A and B are shown apart, each in its own frame.
Chain A
Amino acid sequence: MTAAQRLTKLQLDRDALDAQVRGLSDMYSDLRANKGTTLLQLSHSSNRELALHWRWGDPVEFITELPAEKQAALAGEIALAKRVQDITAQMAAVQARLAPLQADLAALRTLVTNCEAYLGN
């Protein structure tokens, strides 16, 4: 394989990795927006307990600490709260995949730039 062919392969690898990182970043943004919307829905709950005392912390934690009789009136909110928890876990998983790929992409970008300069492209 010639030097130019090797450079082309590196450029293609960079572009593929760039697309992968962008895909994951978009996924993370969507999850964050989804979490925001769900939290907003919870904050608009007509339930007096939530309206008065919940301060945007972990909604599941808040609800499960309430007395059982109060929890019974919060079935819809509990579903939303668990959804927030689920989205938070998904966001952490995406971030864990994203961080090393971003580091790899930065390294590959630098290498491609150096190789392009080396070949005078």
Chain B
Amino acid sequence: MATEQLNGLRERIAEVRAALASHAVPAGRNRTDAAREIDAAIAEATVTGRRHMGHIVAAGPAGQALQVTVSRAGVVDLLPLMLALIGAKAVKTALGQFVEALPVQPDHAEHSARLAELEAELHGLELEEERAIRALEAQGLSVIRRGDADPAVVLADDLSA
């Protein structure tokens, strides 16, 4: 019975370790992150664009409102201009199609939470496994521990936590 319990625990440990391995690579770009970045950029550029256009139209000549000054770095940020011309909704819709093309992945917070959940489950299973092994050893049976068992658990005096 104890041996069956041990085998069951080891099967579950292997599953959790495999799940952990598949989660080990940090989550890549995901829709939530990309959408959040677009919202933040639109919010900032809307203010910049309005201020810039308002200033040029007020100061004149208004016909130069669409002139773009190239920075020393050679970068032209068209977002404030686009927002001032066609509005945030249209820009967000246009960029949204690229966000939709991203794979659905959990966001970083969800990913970290899942990792912590799996690690906690693995720790609990390893404690249970070690308790089962010690119970079998107390009966005079010899049990070989897994090579990848957690040394902190194997060497622990107290297995209550």
List chain A positions with a Cβ less than 8 A from chain B: 1-3, 6-7, 10, 13, 17, 104, 106-111, 114-115, 117-119
Distance of A13 Cα from B155 Cα, bound (Å): 14
Of the 9-residue stretches B23-31, B41-49, B98-106, B143-151, which lies at the interface with chain A? B143-151
* B156 & A111 in contact (Cβ 8 Å cutoff): no
Tell me whether A111 and B154 are in contact in the complex, defined as CB-CB below 8 angstroms, given that A104-B144, A106-B147 are known contacts: yes
List, in ascending order, chain B residues with CB within 8 A of A117's CB: 151
Q: Does B157 contact A (CB under 8 A)?
A: yes
Distance of A108 Cα from B144 Cα, bound (Å): 7
Distance of A44 Cα from B127 Cα, bound (Å): 62
List, in ascending order, chain A residues with CB within 8 A of B155's CB: 3, 6-7, 115, 118-119
Nearest CB of B to A57, in Å: 39
Nearest CB of B to A117, in Å: 8
On chain B, which size bracket covers the interface?
10 to 19
List, in ascending order, chain B residues with CB within 8 A of A6's CB: 154-155
Q: Does B141 contact A (CB under 8 A)?
A: no
* B154 & A107 in contact (Cβ 8 Å cutoff): no
* A111 & B152 in contact (Cβ 8 Å cutoff): no
Known contacts A1-B157, A115-B155; 17 additional CB pairs below 8 A are A3-B157, A6-B154, A7-B155, A104-B144, A106-B147, A107-B145, A108-B144, A110-B148, A111-B151, A111-B154, A114-B147, A114-B151, A115-B154, A117-B151, A118-B152, A118-B155, A119-B151
Distance of A2 Cα from B154 Cα, bound (Å): 11
Nearest CB of B to A31, in Å: 26
Chain B, residues 62-106, CB within 8 Å of chain A (1/0): the string is 000000000000000000000000000000000000000000000
